[in-house]
Amino acid sequence: MARFPLPPGSTIGVLGGGQLGWMLALAASRLGLNTAVLDPDPACSASRVAVRTVTADYADPEGLAALAQACDVVTFEFENVPAAAVEQLAALKVQVAPGARALAVAQDRLEEKTFLNGVHAPTVAFRGASSAAEAAEAAAELGAPCLMKTRREGYDGKGQRWVEHASQAAAAFEALGSRPVILEAPADFVRELSVIAARSRSGEIACFPLGENHHENGVLRRTHAPAAAAPPLVEQAQQIAARILSALDYVGVMGVELFELKDGRLLVNEIAPRVHNSGHWTLDGCEVDQFEQHVRAIAGWPLGPTAALARTEMTNLLGSEVDDWKKLAADPDARLWLYGKGEPRPGRKMGHVNRLQPLKD
Ligand SMILES: Nc1ncnc2c1ncn2[C@@H]1O[C@H](COP(=O)(O)OP(=O)(O)O)[C@@H](O)[C@H]1O
Ligand SMILES: [Mg+2]
């Protein structure tokens, strides 16, 4: 078993080699740590930085064994890692951080909301349903309109449908593939916020300043940070995050998506047990960024300082927007991050831009 803190020269394994894995590998490299990445695509973004790329499916026992053999600790860039993969890594005596419990909770929206309410992290009202009849009953109980989401595997707004009348619930259930769903009461939010929080192996917790998030078609478009927020709101968010991380005995960075209601209360929308798109602003706007923070946490190092150095606007470059790279490269206010992905398919996250302004006093 690995001994913590991992010294420079140790190797961190990452399941998934997309942009998040790539930025984790960059951060690890800066701290003298190596990265080995497992991804089905040999040309994945992280392969350009990792010292080793294992090309395999996430559920492939041989690939997982090769990764475990090369690493002192394994983490992941997405939460839909098969449970069997985490069990295999544990059987191979490699440390996985965040742990299996955090993954299980974040993989299932019904378990997630049940867990959150159990630790006094408030959410919208919700009901689970596993059949068309149950879905109709749940919609009637909850009241329409309500939002139906598949319990598993949704992302970027996929796998969701608004149910305008309870009578439409059965059809919505079928349209979502007749899979187990959760129905949620609408959150009447004034804005969407997120807090990126980290917990170290010794239980220390640090939160970055709040981000204010703007979505388009279910995809994050822009984050403004630090979000304009009075101290009690910031404290409320930090307390919610701390309750979640402590209850999960969490190690690493987590993204906590929040709805701010008119009366100033915060509800948790969902948690992401990994570095998060709404934390990309920290790459240029904070003392230590979320990727370094995650590496520090899982390697058993102390957490770094999270204060903002600048007011930052992060804009995702989606699809062919990346073709503007020449213009952006010539813009002295734009800090440009390009993920090195080949095909700019519509909506695909190809890069992001951070624009900095001095902090207001
Ligand atoms: N209960 C809800 N009420 C109102 N809007 C919601 C609700 N749940 C989600 N949304 C909106 O849909 C977006 C995506 O939903 P989310 O649950 O975060 O799924 P994803 O995993 O796709 O990010 C949210 O950022 C928010 O804008
Ligand atoms: Mg979300």
- What separation in Å is there between the alpha carbon of 73 and the centre of ligand 1? 32
- What separation in Å is there between the alpha carbon of 149 and the centre of ligand 1? 9
Mean pLDDT of the chain: 96
Can you tell me which atom of ligand 1 is nearest the CA of 155? 22
**Which residues have CB under 8 Å from 142's CB, separation 6+?**
125, 126, 127, 183, 184, 185
Amino acid at 338: L
Choice between 287 and 155, residue whose per-residue pLDDT is larger: 287
| Confidence at 155, pLDDT banded by 50, 70, 90 | confident
Tally of CB atoms within 10 A around 62? 10
Q: Which ligand is nearest to the CA of 159?
A: 1
| Confidence at 330, pLDDT banded by 50, 70, 90 | very high
73-76 and 11-15 strand pairing: parallel
| Confidence at 164, pLDDT banded by 50, 70, 90 | very high
Alpha-carbon separation of residue 105 from 83, 206, 247 (angstroms): 11, 21, 12
Name which residue sits closest to atom 9 of ligand 1, judged by CA.
269
How confident is the model at residue 157, as a pLDDT? 84
Ligand 1 interacting residues, C-beta cut-off 6 A? 124, 147, 154-157, 184, 186-187, 192, 215, 218, 257, 269-270
How confident is the model at residue 1, as a pLDDT? 64
- Pocket probe mutation, ligand 1, options 155, 182, 269, max atoms within 8 Å of Cβ: 269
Name which residue sits closest to atom 15 of ligand 1, judged by CA.
157
Phi and psi at residue 225, to the nearest 5°:
-150, 150
The closest of 222, 196, 200, 224 to 208, measured between CA atoms, is: 196
In the predicted model, what is the mean pLDDT of residues 310-328?
Answer: 97
User: Has residue 2 got a pLDDT over 80?
Assistant: no
The closest of 237, 211, 192 to 312, measured between CA atoms, is: 211
Say if residue 346 is preceded by a cis peptide, omega within 30 of 0. Answer: no
Per-residue pLDDT reduced to its tens digit, 204-239:
999 999 999 999 988 999 999 999 999 999 999 999
C-alpha 28/C-alpha 340 separation (Å) is 18
The closest of 186, 185, 181, 184 to 129, measured between CA atoms, is: 181
Strands (E) in 185-326, as ranges, are: 189-199, 205-207, 211-216, 219-225, 252-261, 266-272, 311-318
Per-residue pLDDT reduced to its tens digit, 84-115:
898 899 899 999 999 999 999 999 999 999 99
User: Has residue 60 got a pLDDT over 90?
Assistant: yes
Residue with tokens 């449970």: 83
What is the H or E stretch that residue 161 is in?
A: strand 160-163
